[in-house]
Each structure stands twice: as structure tokens, then as C-alpha cells.
């Protein structure tokens, strides 16, 4: 069972994830232990037991959580002000309350803001990349060609790709896929099946949805988006 809270720019998941294969998030993420510690291995390194960790977008890693619960807070892809990250006190109790459904709504939003600060007004420092990122986020279900995005930004496709990765740590295509996964979770919260939600969000079929889930989250969608899970969409 998982409990997932969706905001337009953030996603909080509290669940028993077990073993999570090597993957890389498309957004910066904070990982918190709810029960004891969890095992984290960054690519090229050994496993270590940690209580919490900040992972920038694109950092390849795998997890060994066993039966312990873990909280994962994904931030909006783009500017992450590390100066806003607050020293964590009381996260275990708060995340247990989230898992049990006892902490939600404005109170939960306040708790998240206290951890990472308010949402950034811009996704990128370069206004052209910021606009391109917002364009992708607003039309993730479309397959906008890179050339179209580059033309709108007044850049060559290769230059847009370079600046996008430099500013956000990911490619335009990765951001589009990330937004589609967000949309899948939102649609599941409204009662749609995984298959239907994936198609409506822009995935060609269930295989493509499953591949994207494993690539960005290290698990299959059924591990967290099942009938026993609770998905909450916040304004």
C-alpha cells in the first residue's frame, strides 16, 4: 500500500518499496526513512545505510528498503534552492501520519513547505529554458518536436538540448515523460485504470508506461498505483 500526494509541482510518496532497481529521477528528490534506515547505493559506489538524502535530478541510484517504509518527496524539475532545505526533525512521526492518512490537506502542504521552502517561481534561470519547460509541462500529452520548442525559444535544437540539461539536469523528453507519469497518477486517483490513464496521458501502450516507470522510479507502476493505494490530488 502506498499513499501519494500530488501537487502541480511536487509529489510525496510514502510506501514500502522493498528493493528498487537502479534508476534516475527526472526531478530533485528528498528521501526520508520512516522506519529505521534504508540502503542507498549511488552508481559506482557501495550500499550505505542512511536516514535521509537529497538526490539531484539524474543521479542514478538503487534502494534496499526491505519491509521498511520510506518517504520520497519529488520537487519540480528545475531550480532547487538547497538553502531552503531545513534540518529534518520529526520527519518520521509526520510521515507515519501521512501513511496512516492522519496528515493531509493544508497542514501537509505546510509541512512540505517547511522542509523545502515555497515552490520556485521559475523552473530555470534562463527565461528561454523556463518557457520551454513550462510549455512541455502544459502539453505533456503531445509529442511536441524538439525543433518546435527550439524555434519558439529562438535556439537551435542542439543548443536548446544543451541549455535544458545544463539548467534542469534532464532533457526535454525526460521532462515530458515525467509530467506524463504525474498525469497517470492523477487519473488513477479519479478511478481510471492504469492502462487507460497511461493512454490518456500520452503513453503508446502499457509497455511504454511500465518502461518509463522503471526508468524514472525503479519499480513497476503496479507497486504503488494499485487499488490498495491512496492518491490525493491537491490544488
Q: What is the pLDDT of residues 160-185, one digit of tens each?
A: 999 999 988 889 999 999 999 999 99
Tell me: the pLDDT tens digits for 52-92? 999 988 899 999 999 999 999 998 776 555 555 655 667 88
C-alpha to C-alpha distance for 63 and 42, rounded to whole angstroms: 9
Which residues have CB under 8 Å from 181's CB, separation 6+? 201, 212, 213, 216, 217
C-alpha to C-alpha distance for 16 and 46, rounded to whole angstroms: 22
What percent of the chain has a predicted confidence (pLDDT) above 90?
A: 66
Cα torsion for 188, 193, 195, 200, to the nearest 10°?
Answer: -50
List phi, psi (to 5°) of 145: -65, 145
Nearest of 85, 98, 110 to residue 34 by alpha carbon: 98
DSSP classification of residue 87: P
C-alpha to C-alpha distance for 137 and 175, rounded to whole angstroms: 8
Q: Do domains 2-116 and 127-219 have the same CATH topology?
A: no
Helices (H), 122-234: 127-138, 146-153, 157-168, 172-189, 194-201, 206-217
pLDDT value at residue 108: 93
pLDDT value at residue 88: 62
- pTM of the entire structure? 0.87
Cα atoms in the 13 Å half-sphere on the side-chain side of 212: 23
Architecture label for domain 2-116: Sandwich (2.60)
Tell me: the pLDDT tens digits for 115-148? 887 777 777 889 999 999 999 988 888 889 999 9
Instruction: Give the start-to-end residue ranges of the domains of the chain.
Output: 2-116, 127-219
List phi, psi (to 5°) of 68: -80, 150
pLDDT value at residue 86: 56
Tell me: the pLDDT tens digits for 38-47? 999 999 999 9
CATH number belonging to the domain at 127-219, selected among 1.10.460.10, 2.20.25.90, 1.10.10.60, 2.60.40.3880: 1.10.10.60
Which residues have CB under 8 Å from 162's CB, separation 6+? none
DSSP classification of residue 86: P
Amino acid at each position: 500500500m502506498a499513499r501519494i500526494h500530488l501537487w502541480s509541482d511536487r509529489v510525496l510518496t510514502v510506501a514500502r518499496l522493498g528493493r528498487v532497481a537502479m534508476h534516475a529521477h527526472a526531478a530533485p528528490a528528498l528521501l526520508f526513512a520512516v522506519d529505521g534506515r534504508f540502503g542507498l547505493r549511488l552508481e559506482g559506489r557501495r550500499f550505505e545505510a542512511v536516514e535521509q538524502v537529497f538526490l539531484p535530478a539524474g543521479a542514478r541510484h538503487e534502494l534496499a528498503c526491505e519491509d521498511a517504509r520510506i518517504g520520497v518527496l519529488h520537487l519540480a524539475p528545475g531550480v532547487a534552492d538547497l538553502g531552503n532545505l531545513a534540518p529534518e526533525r520529526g520527519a518520521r512521526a509526520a510521515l507515519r501520519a501521512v501513511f496512516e492518512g492522519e496528515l493531509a490537506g493544508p497542514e501537509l502542504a505546510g509541512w512540505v513547505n517547511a522542509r523545502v521552502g515555497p515552490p520556485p517561481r521559475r523552473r530555470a534561470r534562463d527565461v528561454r529554458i523556463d518557457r520551454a519547460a513550462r510549455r512541455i509541462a502544459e502539453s505533456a500529452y503531445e509529442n511536441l518536436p524538439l525543433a518546435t520548442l527550439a524555434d519558439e525559444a529562438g535556439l537551435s535544437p542542439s543548443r536548446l538540448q544543451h541549455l535544458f540539461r545544463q539548467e534542469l539536469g534532464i532533457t526535454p523528453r525526460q521532462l515530458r515523460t515525467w509530467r506524463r507519469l504525474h498525469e497517470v497518477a492523477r487519473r488513477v486517483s479519479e478511478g481510471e485504470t492504469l492502462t487507460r490513464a497511461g493512454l490518456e496521458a500520452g503513453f503508446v501502450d502499457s509497455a511504454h508506461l511500465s518502461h518509463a516507470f522503471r526508468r524514472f522510479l525503479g519499480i513497476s507502476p503496479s507497486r504503488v498505483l494499485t487499488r490498495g493505494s491512496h492518491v490525493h490530488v491537491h490544488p
